[in-house]
Structure 1
Amino acid sequence: MKVVALLTGRGNNTLKDKNVLDILGHPVLYYPAHAAKKAEVIDSYYCSSDDEKILRAAEKEGYERIVRPEYLSLATSQHVDVIKHGIDIISKKEDIGDILVVILANNVTIKADWINACVKMMQDDPSLTAVVPIYEDNDHHPLRGKRVENGRLEMYERGITGKLSTNRQDLPSCYFLSHNFWVLNTKKMIESNYEGQQPWGFMGNNIGYFLIDESIDIHKEIDLFIAKEWIKEHYKE
Structure 2
Amino acid sequence: MTNSNKPEVLAIIPARGGSKGLPRKNVLPLLGHPLIAYSIKAALESSVVTRTIVSTDDSEIADVSKKYGAELPFIRPAEFAQDLSTDLEVFKHAIQWLKENENYVPDYIVQLRPTSPVRPKGIIDTCFNKMKDNQGDSLRILTDSPLTPYKMWQLNEDGTEMKPLLYLEDNKEPYNSPRQILPKTYWQIGTLDIIKTSCITELNSMSGKTIIPYYITPDYAIDIDDIGSFEKAAQAIETNECIRFS
> Is TM (by shorter chain) over 0.5?
yes
Q: Which residue, out of 190, 197, 210, partners 1:179?
A: 190
Distance 2:173 2:55 in 1: 49
Partner of 2:3: none
Shift of 1:166: 5.9
Change (3 A) 1:224 1:124: same
Alignment correspondent of 2:200: 189
Contact 1:4/1:100 (CA < 8 Å) preserved in 2? yes
Which among 191, 210, 213 is matched to residue 214 of structure 2?
A: 210
User: 1:20-99 alignment to 2 at 5 Å?
Assistant: 20-65=27-72, 66-91=74-99, 92-99=101-108
Tell me which of 64, 80, 104 is aligned to 2:113.
Answer: 104
Are the counterparts in 2 of residues 11 and 54 from structure 1 also a CA contact under 8 Å?
yes
What's the offset of the Cα at 1:170?
3.4
> Are the structure 2 counterparts of residues 162 and 23 from structure 1 closer, same or farther at C-alpha, using a change threshold of 3 Å?
same
Q: 1:39: how far off?
A: 0.7
- Identity among equivalent pairs (%): 23
Name structure 2 gaps, 5 residues minimum: 1-6
Aligned mates of 2:103, 2:120 — CA distance in 1: 26
2:122 aligned residue: 113
Distance 2:15 2:120 in 1: 18
State how far apart, in whole Å, the 2-side matches of 1:164 and 1:77 are. 34
CA distance in 2, matches of 1:40, 1:60: 21
Rounded Cα–Cα distance in structure 2 between residues aligned with 1:202 and 1:188: 7
149-158 vs 16-25, which deviates more?
149-158
Match of 2:112, SS?
strand
CA displacement at 1:110 relative to structure 2: 1.9
- Corresponding residue for residue 23 of structure 2: 16
1:186 to 1:164, Cα distance in 2 relative to 1, 3 A: same
Letter in structure 2 aligned against 1:61: Y
Q: Is the 8 A contact 1:19 1:27 kept in 2?
A: yes
Q: Distance in 2 between matches of 1:69 and 1:145?
A: 38
Aligned length: 228
Aligned-partner residue type, residue 63 of structure 2: R
Whether 1:6 aligns to 2:12 is yes
Shift of 1:165: 5.8
Per-residue CA shift, 1:107-143, capped at 9, x if unaligned? Answer: 1122341100111123334x41101111111x32210
